[in-house]
Structure 1
Amino acid sequence: MRKTLMAMVTGLVLASVAPLPASAEIHEQTIRFASAGAEGSPLVIGQRKFAEIVKEKSGGKIDVKVFPAGMLGGDLQSVTALQGGLLQMSVMNAGLMASLAPDFAILDLPFLFESTKEADAVMDGEVGKTFAKELDDKNLVVLAYWELGFRNLTNSRRPVEKVDDIEGLKIRVVQSPIYLEMFQVLGANAVPMPFPEVYTALETGTVDGQENPAPSILTAKLNEVQKYITLTRHTYNPMVLLFSKPLWEKLDQEEKDLLQAAASEAAAFQRQLSRDADQKAVDALAASGMTVTKLPPEEIARFREKTKPVADKFAASANPELVKALNETIEKVRAAN
Structure 2
Amino acid sequence: MRKLVNTLLAGVMLASLCVLPAQAEIHEQTIRFASTGSEGSPLVIGQRKFAEIVKEKSGGKIDVKVFPAGMLGGDMQSVASLQGGLLQMSALNAGLMASLAPDFALLDIPFLFENTKEADAVMDGEVGKIFKAELDEKNLVVLAYWELGFRNLTNSRRAVEKVDDIEGLKIRVVQSPIYLEMFQALGANAVPMPFPEVYTALETGTVDGQENPAASILTAKLNEVQKYLTLTRHTYNPMVLLFSKPVWEKLDPDEQELLQQAALESAAFQRATSREADAKAVEALAAAGMTVTKLAPEEIARFREKTKPVAEKFSAAADPALVKLLNDTIQQARTAK
TM range (shorter): over 0.9
Aligned to 1:138: 138
**Is residue 2:257 matched to residue 1:273?**
no
**Is residue 2:326 matched to residue 1:311?**
no
Deviations 1:171-197 (A, max 9, x none): 000000000000000000000000000
Preserved contact between residue 21 and residue 58 of structure 1 (Cα < 8 Å): no
CA distance in 1, matches of 2:51, 2:22: 15
CA distance in 2, matches of 1:20, 1:193: 43
Cα-Cα RMSD = 1.2
Cα deviation for residue 15 of structure 1 reads: 4.6
1:4 pairs, out of 1, 4, 7, with 7
**Is residue 2:182 matched to residue 1:177?**
no
CA distance in 1, matches of 2:17, 2:261: 5
Aligned to 1:75: 75
Superposition pairs of residues 1-337 of structure 1, within 5 angstroms: 1-8=4-11, 15-20=15-20, 23=23, 25-337=25-337
Preserved contact between residue 24 and residue 254 of structure 2 (Cα < 8 Å): no
SS at match of 2:241: strand
CA distance in 2, matches of 1:323, 1:50: 32
Cα deviation for residue 19 of structure 1 reads: 4.6
CA distance in 1, matches of 2:123, 2:24: 34
Preserved contact between residue 38 and residue 219 of structure 2 (Cα < 8 Å): yes
Cα deviation for residue 21 of structure 1 reads: 5.4
Cα deviation for residue 334 of structure 1 reads: 1.1
Preserved contact between residue 17 and residue 265 of structure 1 (Cα < 8 Å): no
Preserved contact between residue 8 and residue 124 of structure 1 (Cα < 8 Å): no
CA distance in 2, matches of 1:127, 1:53: 27
Preserved contact between residue 146 and residue 240 of structure 1 (Cα < 8 Å): yes
Cα deviation for residue 20 of structure 1 reads: 3.1
CA separation of 1:272 and 1:24: change in aligned 2, threshold 3 A: closer
CA distance in 2, matches of 1:110, 1:65: 35
Cα deviation for residue 23 of structure 1 reads: 4.2
Deviations 1:238-279 (A, max 9, x none): 000000000000000000000000000000000000000011
Q: Which amino acid counterpart does residue 165 of structure 1 have in structure 2?
A: D
Unpaired segments of 5 or more residues in structure 1?
Answer: none
- Percent of residue pairs identical: 84
Preserved contact between residue 231 and residue 294 of structure 1 (Cα < 8 Å): yes
Preserved contact between residue 16 and residue 265 of structure 2 (Cα < 8 Å): no
SS at match of 1:147: strand
Preserved contact between residue 229 and residue 292 of structure 2 (Cα < 8 Å): yes
Cα deviation for residue 2 of structure 1 reads: 1.9
Preserved contact between residue 154 and residue 230 of structure 1 (Cα < 8 Å): yes
SS at match of 1:148: strand
Preserved contact between residue 43 and residue 270 of structure 1 (Cα < 8 Å): yes
CA distance in 1, matches of 2:135, 2:315: 19
CA distance in 1, matches of 2:118, 2:94: 16
Number of residue pairs the alignment of both structures matches: 334
Normalising to structure 2: TM-score of the pair? 0.97
SS at match of 2:49: helix
SS at match of 2:142: strand
Normalising to structure 1: TM-score of the pair? 0.97
Deviations 1:186-237 (A, max 9, x none): 0000000000000000000000000000000000000000000000000000
CA distance in 1, matches of 2:169, 2:23: 57
SS at match of 1:59: coil
Cα deviation for residue 8 of structure 1 reads: 4.0
Preserved contact between residue 140 and residue 243 of structure 1 (Cα < 8 Å): yes
